[in-house]
Amino acid sequence: MQCHEVDYEIYGDDMQVVEVELDPEESVIAEAGAMNWMEDGITFETRMGDGSTANEGVFNKLLNVGKRMLTGESIFMTHFTHTGGSGKRRVAFAAPYPGKIIPVDMSKIHHELICQKDAFLCAALGTEVSIAFTKRLGTGFFGGEGFILQRLRGDGMAFIHAGGTVIKKELNNDVIRVDTGCIVAFSPGIDYNIERAGGLKSMFFGGEGLFLATLRGTGTVFLQSLPFSRLADRVLQHAPSVGGKRQGEGSVLGRIGGIIDGD
């Protein structure tokens, strides 16, 4: 195997933590700030890049850093290594918002996975974390995730996270239409495109957005029930503004609430 072979256990339900078990000299890479705890004997180092390519040179490292900046992620990744001699040691990582952690055996999905920009949590050392540009201009403008998605490559375990409940669907030359924010990840055999959501009335008054993502082909698709953007919108709708005035759900209720409060 190119990637280190790690064991793991996932704890919790809606606020999950994945605990990765490392043998001596095994390593796991993670997004900066994702670690929750680690046992004695594990050392960590923050580096530029995922460490999937040995001796890649300064230019390639800078190129990979530039790619990560395009996805909005930190330019650094943290490498955790078991250097404490014999026995096994464990290090744990948590998702940044309520949802599920999805363990993915990359060797079983053709060694590659395309996922949304902030889905990656951690992976066995040797996993390449890069970017994938969407193929169509319309997909980039209206797809909810922009032109750039993350691409994971390797043959070991990778862990991604999603909001709410996670649904895994296996497509066999099928077509499925999804809200653009509900896509977590899909295998390379899936074609990703954006199509208009019905007629004009449905687009503007249906509440489902102007465009839907169309996934077609053969492969694996992971969907989430609660995208973080949808959760954040709901919180902002019910939160008071900086000036202390109510931001209600629609404005009639907001005005009534303001009158009751004496505003």
Task: Write down the mean pLDDT value for the chain.
Answer: 79
Sheet containing 89-94: which strands, arranged edge to edge? 7-11, 17-22, 89-94, 35-38
Q: What is the mean pLDDT of residues 254-259?
A: 46
Backbone φ and ψ of 48, nearest 5°: -85, 120
Q: Assign domain 7-230 to its CATH architecture.
A: 4-Layer Sandwich (3.60)
DSSP annotation of 209: -
Helix or strand or coil: residue 77? strand
pLDDT in tens, 118-164: 899 999 999 998 887 665 545 444 444 445 788 999 999 999 999 98
pLDDT in tens, 43-74: 999 887 777 765 555 556 566 555 556 555 56
Cβ contact 236:244 at 8 Å: no
Phi-psi region of 210 (alpha: psi -120 to 50; beta: other; left: phi over 0): alpha
Show the tokens assigned to 149.
């998605």
* 119, HSE (Cβ side, Cα atoms, 13 Å): 34
Predicted pLDDT at 62: 60
Rounded to two decimals, the pTM is 0.78
